[in-house]
Structure 1
Amino acid sequence: MEHLETRQKITIMIAVMASLLFAALNQTIVGTVMPRIVSDLGGIQYFNWVFTIFMLTASVTTVLVGKLSDIYGRKIFILTGLALFMIGSFLCGTAQTMIQLIIWRGLQGFGGGMVMATAFTAVGDLFSPRERGRWQGLMGAVFGLASVLGPTLGGYIVDHFDWHWVFWIFLPVGLIAFYLILRLFPQTPRGEKNRIDYTGSIFLVLTIVPLLLAFTWAGDRYTWTSWQILSMIAVSAFSLAAFIWVEKHAENPVMPLHLFKNSIFTLSNVINFLIGVAMFGATMYAPFYIQGVKGISAAESGVIMMAMTLGMVLASSIVGSLVTKTGKYKKLALGGLLVMGAGMVLLSMLTIETSILLTTIYLIIVGLGLGTAFPIFNLTVQNAVSHRYLGVSTSAIQLFRQMGGTIGVSIMGTIMISRMDAKIAATPAPPELANNPAAQTLANINPQVLLSPDQLAAIRSQLPAGMEAVFDQVLLMLREAMNAGISSVFIVGGAVITLAFLCTFFLREIPLRTSNEEPPQEDTGNENQTSDDEQASHRPTEKAGAHH
């Protein structure tokens, strides 16, 4: 596909980015409208499953489709993914109960996983590694754009229309993308149609799903040492051992283990995992500071967080062009991680007196660093493996980043709550609360109430006369405790990015290939075949012989 005319490749990429935008917008818009959906459908006890089921189905589909698309080509999977996502989106808008919404969100996840897996891989089909930098940057910018538009548009729809339109409004974008992909995207099978590794696929699913569920529920629904969490981790560990054994003996493994002998592939995925931890930590817990500690409304919080996203979009676009122009990427990756780490350290220094302007500047710094590093490690993996492994290697990148985010958010949440509780326990309560039955409501108040202005107003309205000043002291104590917890989260995020920075020092920078037909300089190839490096090493001799 890299030999297509430039105009056709650009048109295909517009269709691919439209597909990605369609999927990403539907992910980012849901969080804003969930309170309204819960009030309409009920079933608040199943609230988290609306997000969890999408994450699980998308993660599993992404890694499985990566391998299948290497065999059967990308077109069938991106079209199937778009179709499933559109059907799921339409059905989500028709949901009458929370259970129905969860089922249709699972269907959306299957489609979204296919779209995500094939969209980033399509860049590798259309362009050589040297050319991919620009397009990888633009793909990252699409995610940033969705993060900006989704919550803003979702809030507007909820305020002026019915919530069902959140799932329907982008269907025309999906239909246009489907038509363009159908007409323009060539069908190009990538490999021999060997027997599908069903056993390996099953054990891979049994490794991923319990692990993600364990880290999603640990510290929230169940304690870390509960039998539910420990049993899920045990099932995941057993399945991983079985998966490794199966893959070593499989004729056509779903995840070729020999790829992990490639130091660039392995190290890039480790760095991606660490970036996922810090990235999701920043995006999940910065709003806690803005809304809980500073008392800013959710709508204004979204605008402030938009600054980080715009910084990411700007940096991603510029860095992508620089990589394509210069062919260099390691120094840019190190610089991006250094900037992101500095931003995380600055965020860890926030206090209840820090201005919103300064907070916004710190978030922009994080966004600039993230936007610089984010697209590069997609490129390093794709550049280091043979083109026949493009789909499975690209899927691995996304899986490691998603798992990093899921695991990181869970661990950081536990750290935040633990630090908050310790801070509250170490802070003496106002003396007015002692031996005052009327003030017991204040003594037992939960810090989570800081995130709900309505609950705060309701508590204040029910206080006895003369207790307002005591209530303000309690709120100050809770805000300081939440600030301490969030600072701990950002310290951990800074440490994780520091580790990613150190790992990047050991990442070998190899020249970006100018053609997909060139063998990568570091590629283990197939264990049972001659490696590309060995084949390449014989080519000069062959050419010399032909010349004589």
Structure 2
Amino acid sequence: MEQLTQKEKVTIMFALMAAMFFAAINQTIVSSAMPRIIALLGGMEYYSWVLTIFMLTSTIATILVGKLSDIYGRKPFLLMGIITFMIGTFLVGTSTSIFQMIAYRGVQGIGAGILMSTTITAVGDLFAPRERAKWTGVMMAVFGFSSVLGPTLGGVMVDHMAWKWLFWIFLPLGLVVLVMIWFMFPKSARKTSESIDYWGSLFLSITIIGLLLGFSWAGSKYDWSSYQIIGLFTISAVSLVILLLIERKAKSPVLPLSMFKNSIVTVSNSIGFLMNAGMMGAMIYLPFFVQGVEGVSATKSGFVTMPMSIMMIILSSLVGRWISKSGKYKRYAMTGTIIMVAGMIMMAFMSSIVMAVASMCVFGIGLGLCMPVFTLTVQNAVAPSQLGVATATSTLFRNLGGTIGIAVLGSVMNSTMSHKLENAMATSEIDLSKLEPEKAGELSKLLDPQLLLNQPKLLELQSTLPDQIKPLFTQMIDMLRSVLSSTLTIVFLIGAILLFVAFVLVFFLKEIPLRTSNAANSEQEKTKEAAQPEVN
């Protein structure tokens, strides 16, 4: 695509940014409204599947389409992703039961996975790595902007109109994006010499499904030692072994193992995995402090986390430009990861809303410095013919990092909180034995830190208690807040350790010049590659 003029490339980029925004805003706009939607549809016990099915289908679509787009070109999958996502989004808005919503969210996830993966890869087709850095930063900023606008807009809309319009309001944008991609994005010739790796695709999908379901349900729906979780991990492990055997002999593997012999790919994906685990820890568990410990409402809690997204938007855009000018990326990776560590340590010891906002600002700066780097390093380290599968693999590792990070930190939080609550009760001055057995039993049921996250219910309970019990109830709530605060300190410190490991790994990230051309099949590029030592 390097034969296109700069004006044509920029025009196509506007279409790709619109596609990215269309996919991202439709995901973030429903985040704050989904609990109310599920309450209206019924079937709250199946709520987790509304989230899980989207994660599963989007992750599998991302990794499978990566290789297919290398064979057939990006345009067919960009169009397929937009159409599938629009169909899924429209159908979700027509849901009359929780089971319909789960099925339609699965369709929506397939479209999202295809669209998000192919959009990022298409940027690599348009621009050589040196210039690509600038546009990658802009794409990350578009994604960050949707994460700021989406939840706030969704909350306002669900209060003032039918919930289906949350899914339908941006469908006209999808039609515009479809037309833009159809007419503007150039076609690419199919690589007829490559075949589709059906068996590899099957066992790769089984491996991913086992891992994601295992880590999503472990410690929440099932115990880590339950036969369900052990069974899922066993299936995933067996499938992985079979996958490796298949990929070693496949003519056109869906997951080329040779790619992982490249240290830049392996190190970058490992850092992305750890970085996403730490990032999800910050996003998921900071509201526990804001709402549970400080007693701030859920609506205002969103404004506390907003600075992280704003800082990420600003820094991602700037870093992309800086990398394009200098051709250097390692300095931003090192600076960003250590700043993220500092932000996470600030979270571990925060004692006020002001400090929470400050920690979000610091963490957002570090995240913004890192975000454009690691996909770029992977794309720059592989041949253009592997651009799709390399980008998809990078996305897969980040998704796995987020899922596994949430599961592990969640298990740490639950076990630590349970232990600390027992110790706190044993050493506190709260004595329920002096109360009537019935009232003592009612109060003991309130020793649940999750109660702190529902401020309206907390105030309602307090207003219904007899006056003589209210002081005791206040003592219990203060103790719960103290337990939750000290537990979150442990969680955030573990998150800081994960990010520090990512920082250490950056030292092993080899910095090679960013290519100024995508023509890797030219004689000049072949000579250059032959002269370079093998990257192990």
TM-score range, shorter chain: over 0.9
The answer to whether the 8 Å contact 1:418/1:485 transfers is no
CA distance in 2, matches of 1:431, 1:496: 37
The yes-or-no answer on 1:371 pairing with 2:373 is: no
> Which residue of structure 2 aligns with residue 360 of structure 1?
357
Shift of 1:481: 1.1
Shift of 1:192: 3.6
CA distance in 1, matches of 2:2, 2:528: 22
Which whole-Å deviations, capped at 9, do the CAs of 1:351-401 have from their partners, x for residues lacking one? xxx221221011110011011111100110000000000000000010000
The yes-or-no answer on 1:444 pairing with 2:445 is: yes
SS in 2 for 1:195: coil
The answer to whether the 8 Å contact 2:140/2:313 transfers is yes
Q: How does 1:140-179 map to 2 (within 5 A)?
A: 140-179=140-179
> Which residue of structure 1 aligns with residue 411 of structure 2?
414
Q: How does 1:141-290 map to 2 (within 5 A)?
A: 141-189=141-189, 191-290=191-290
Q: Residue 157 of structure 2 aligns to which amino acid in structure 1?
A: I
Which of the residues 487, 490, 496 maps onto 1:488? 490
Segment of structure 1 superposing worse, 91-100 or 431-440: 431-440
Shift of 1:193: 4.4
Shift of 1:532: 6.9
SS in 1 for 2:513: coil
The answer to whether the 8 Å contact 1:69/1:190 transfers is no
Identity %: 48
Q: How does 1:460-479 map to 2 (within 5 A)?
A: 460-479=462-481
The answer to whether the 8 Å contact 2:430/2:472 transfers is no
Shift of 1:431: 3.2
The yes-or-no answer on 1:425 pairing with 2:422 is: yes
Shift of 1:459: 1.7
> Which residue of structure 1 aligns with residue 315 of structure 2?
315
CA distance in 2, matches of 1:190, 1:333: 36
CA distance in 2, matches of 1:286, 1:408: 14
Segment of structure 1 superposing worse, 182-191 or 206-215: 182-191
The answer to whether the 8 Å contact 2:312/2:367 transfers is yes
Change (3 A) 1:519 1:475: farther
Change (3 A) 1:4 1:283: same
> Which residue of structure 1 aligns with residue 332 of structure 2?
332
Shift of 1:537: 3.7
CA distance in 2, matches of 1:115, 1:432: 58
Segment of structure 1 superposing worse, 457-466 or 284-293: 457-466
Segment of structure 1 superposing worse, 94-103 or 433-442: 433-442
The answer to whether the 8 Å contact 2:117/2:392 transfers is yes
> Which residue of structure 2 aligns with residue 2 of structure 1?
2
Which whole-Å deviations, capped at 9, do the CAs of 1:243-265 have from their partners, x for residues lacking one? 00000111111111100111101
CA distance in 2, matches of 1:386, 1:192: 18
The yes-or-no answer on 1:454 pairing with 2:456 is: yes
The answer to whether the 8 Å contact 1:219/1:410 transfers is yes
CA distance in 2, matches of 1:328, 1:536: 20
CA distance in 2, matches of 1:531, 1:285: 51
CA distance in 2, matches of 1:536, 1:299: 54
CA distance in 2, matches of 1:136, 1:188: 22
Q: Runs of 4 or more off by more than 6 Å in structure 1?
A: none
Shift of 1:190: 5.8
The answer to whether the 8 Å contact 1:70/1:189 transfers is no
The answer to whether the 8 Å contact 2:430/2:476 transfers is no
CA distance in 1, matches of 2:531, 2:514: 21
Q: How does 1:52-67 map to 2 (within 5 A)?
A: 52-67=52-67
Which whole-Å deviations, capped at 9, do the CAs of 1:473-519 have from their partners, x for residues lacking one? 11111111111221111111110110001001011100001001147
The answer to whether the 8 Å contact 1:191/1:388 transfers is no
Which whole-Å deviations, capped at 9, do the CAs of 1:80-106 have from their partners, x for residues lacking one? 000010111111001000000010000
CA distance in 2, matches of 1:426, 1:282: 26
The answer to whether the 8 Å contact 1:419/1:484 transfers is no
Change (3 A) 1:230 1:531: farther
Shift of 1:3: 2.5
CA distance in 2, matches of 1:419, 1:338: 26
Shift of 1:204: 0.2
The answer to whether the 8 Å contact 2:348/2:490 transfers is yes
Q: Any gaps of 5 or more consecutive residues in structure 1?
A: 521-529, 540-548
CA distance in 2, matches of 1:59, 1:128: 26
Change (3 A) 1:457 1:387: same
Shift of 1:454: 2.4
CA distance in 2, matches of 1:52, 1:291: 25
Q: Residue 425 of structure 1 aligns to which amino acid in structure 2?
A: E
The answer to whether the 8 Å contact 1:421/1:481 transfers is no
> Which residue of structure 1 aligns with residue 387 of structure 2?
390
The answer to whether the 8 Å contact 1:190/1:388 transfers is no
Which whole-Å deviations, capped at 9, do the CAs of 1:331-364 have from their partners, x for residues lacking one? 11100001111000111112xxx22122101111
CA distance in 1, matches of 2:443, 2:133: 55
The answer to whether the 8 Å contact 1:80/1:111 transfers is yes
Shift of 1:8: 1.0
CA distance in 2, matches of 1:10, 1:284: 36
> Which residue of structure 2 aligns with residue 300 of structure 1?
300
CA distance in 2, matches of 1:166, 1:346: 36
Segment of structure 1 superposing worse, 431-440 or 496-505: 431-440
CA distance in 2, matches of 1:531, 1:407: 43
Computed over aligned residues only, the root mean square deviation of the Cα atoms, in angstroms, reads 1.7
> Which residue of structure 1 aligns with residue 507 of structure 2?
505
Which of the residues 514, 517, 526 maps onto 1:515? 517
Q: Residue 379 of structure 2 aligns to which amino acid in structure 1?
A: Q
Which whole-Å deviations, capped at 9, do the CAs of 1:55-84 have from their partners, x for residues lacking one? 000000000000000000000001100001
The answer to whether the 8 Å contact 2:430/2:475 transfers is no
Segment of structure 1 superposing worse, 305-314 or 431-440: 431-440
Q: Residue 2 of structure 1 aligns to which amino acid in structure 2?
A: E
CA distance in 2, matches of 1:193, 1:285: 49
CA distance in 2, matches of 1:395, 1:448: 37
Q: Any gaps of 5 or more consecutive residues in structure 2?
A: none
Change (3 A) 1:142 1:185: same
The answer to whether the 8 Å contact 2:58/2:111 transfers is yes
SS in 2 for 1:223: coil
Q: Residue 366 of structure 1 aligns to which amino acid in structure 2?
A: F
> Which residue of structure 1 aligns with residue 93 of structure 2?
93
Q: Residue 399 of structure 2 aligns to which amino acid in structure 1?
A: Q
SS in 2 for 1:443: helix
CA distance in 1, matches of 2:521, 2:493: 41
Which whole-Å deviations, capped at 9, do the CAs of 1:423-471 have from their partners, x for residues lacking one? 1111134434223132332222211011111221232133122222111
